[in-house]
């Protein structure tokens, strides 16, 4: 069956026939015992419903299955350190091949555990905590944010406001850094960001705060979902998008083009990121991913325009 030893055709056929007749299926656990490893890769991520992660998960699973691996998933709140530890324990109770981490925040926690168990990990990072010790795929959030803010500035806005979201260890999100960089480059002092989290309700409130400020003519949101809610709040406050306020997001969510007005955003190739991270784990031939670099791009749409004079 394994093909490791020459066997006559007749015998092979007889064995195969018996297998079919009995519905025989090799026991993966026994196999794993011998090989010392299960053909399983773990994925750890918070909230896989968010657009980027859901894309990555889909592509990881697809790529893994193509190579005969099963994907085991743990979805957790990275803030819950105990929960993360427990989940890692459950995952590592199987002699799995490695773990793909789709969350920057729980990154350190997982790395800790991975060291304990010597389990390989690969992570998708936006650069903030890239670490030469850990295999990672880089998604350049900062450059993407800069491109969006530059677009807004190029349209003639004097400044661009930002909705901030919590980030790893109290640091600034790379998208926030990109926003600051773009303003700094033109000698503009960044206005104070309006705080939000990743929920719809919180984003609606942040949007209301921005809508109430007559100075605001352009808003950059850290992702498209937040931008949708901000546009809603602008509408509720009677401020037209883009005539009164331009709003831009980041990711290119599937609904971004359907929204009224359609959302200006920046496409990030999350599918590529997920796939590449997985290959880091199961492929020796890592270099092959280098030339598959994604075509990220700015997508100007209806939600942004020059400010009214």
Binding positions for its own copies, 15-74, rule CB under 8 A: 23, 25-33, 38-40, 47-49, 51, 54-55, 57-58, 61-62, 65, 68-74
Q: Is 262 exposed, middle or buried (0-12, 13-18, 19+ CB in 10 A)?
A: middle
Question: Could you tell me how many residues of this chain bind its own copies (CB under 8 A)?
Answer: 57
Q: How far is the CB of 95 from DNA (least distance, A)?
A: 8
Work out what residue 10 binds among DNA, its own copies, none; the CB cut-off runs from 5 to 8 Å by kind: DNA
- If we measure between CA atoms, which residue out of 43, 51, 45, 30 comes closest to residue 77? 45
Q: Is 283 exposed, middle or buried (0-12, 13-18, 19+ CB in 10 A)?
A: middle
For DNA, give the closer residue by CB, 9 or 133.
9
Q: How far apart are CA 227 and CA 213, in angstroms?
A: 17
Work out what residue 238 binds among DNA, its own copies, none; the CB cut-off runs from 5 to 8 Å by kind: none
Q: How far is the CB of 192 from its own copies (least distance, A)?
A: 24
For its own copies, give the closer residue by CB, 151 or 232.
232
Q: How far is the CB of 40 from DNA (least distance, A)?
A: 16
Angle at 210 between CA 207 and CA 216, to 5 degrees: 135
93 counts as binding DNA under rule CB under 7 A: no
Binding positions for DNA, 120-179, rule CB under 7 A: none
For residue 136, the SS3 value is strand
Cα 31–chain centre separation: 34
The answer to whether residues 44 and 100 touch, using CB atoms and an 8 Å cutoff, is: yes
Q: How far apart are CA 44 and CA 26, in angstroms?
A: 28
- Residue 72: CB atoms within 10 Å: 17
Binding positions for DNA, 3-42, rule CB under 7 A: 4-11, 24-27, 30-31, 33-36
DSSP code for 50: S
Q: How far is the CB of 124 from its own copies (least distance, A)?
A: 17
Residues lying near its own copies in the complex (CB under 8 A) are found at 23, 25-33, 38-40, 47-49, 51, 54-55, 57-58, 61-62, 65, 68-75, 86-87, 90-95, 116-117, 200, 204, 225, 228-229, 231-232, 235, 254-255, 257-260, 262
Residues lying near DNA in the complex (CB under 7 A) are found at 1-2, 4-11, 24-27, 30-31, 33-36
């Amino acid at each position: 069956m394994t093909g490791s030893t020459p066997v006559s055709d007749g015998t092979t056929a007889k064995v195969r026939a018996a297998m079919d007749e009995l519905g025989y299926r090799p026991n993966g656990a026994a196999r794993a015992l011998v090989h010392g490893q299960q053909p399983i890769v773990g994925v750890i991520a918070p909230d896989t419903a968010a657009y980027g992660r859901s894309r990555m998960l889909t592509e990881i699973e697809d790529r893994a299955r193509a190579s005969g691996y099963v994907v085991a998933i743990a979805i957790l709140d990275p803030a819950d350190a105990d929960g993360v530890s427990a989940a890692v324990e459950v995952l590592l109770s199987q002699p799995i091949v490695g773990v793909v981490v789709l969350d920057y925040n729980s990154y350190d926690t997982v790395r800790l555990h991975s060291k304990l168990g010597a389990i390989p990990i690969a992570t998708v990072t936006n650069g903030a905590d890239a670490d030469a010790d850990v295999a990672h795929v880089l998604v350049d959030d900062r450059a993407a944010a800069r491109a969006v803010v530059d677009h807004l500035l190029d349209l003639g806005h004097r400044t661009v406001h930002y909705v901030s979201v919590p980030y790893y260890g109290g640091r600034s999100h790379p998208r926030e850094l990109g926003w600051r960089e773009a303003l700094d480059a033109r000698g503009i002092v960044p206005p104070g960001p309006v705080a939000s989290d990743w929920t719809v309700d919180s984003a609606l409130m942040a949007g209301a705060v921005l809508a109430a400020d007559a100075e605001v003519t352009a808003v950059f949101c850290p992702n498209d979902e937040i931008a949708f809610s901000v546009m809603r709040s602008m509408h509720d406050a009677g401020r037209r998008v883009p005539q009164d306020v331009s709003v831009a997001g980041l990711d290119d969510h599937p609904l971004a083009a359907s929204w009224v007005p359609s959302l200006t955003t920046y496409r990030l190739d999350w599918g590529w990121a997920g796939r590449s991270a997985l290959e880091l784990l199961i492929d020796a031939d890592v270099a092959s991913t280098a030339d598959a670099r994604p075509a990220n791009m700015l997508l100007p749409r209806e939600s942004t325009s020059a400010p009214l004079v």
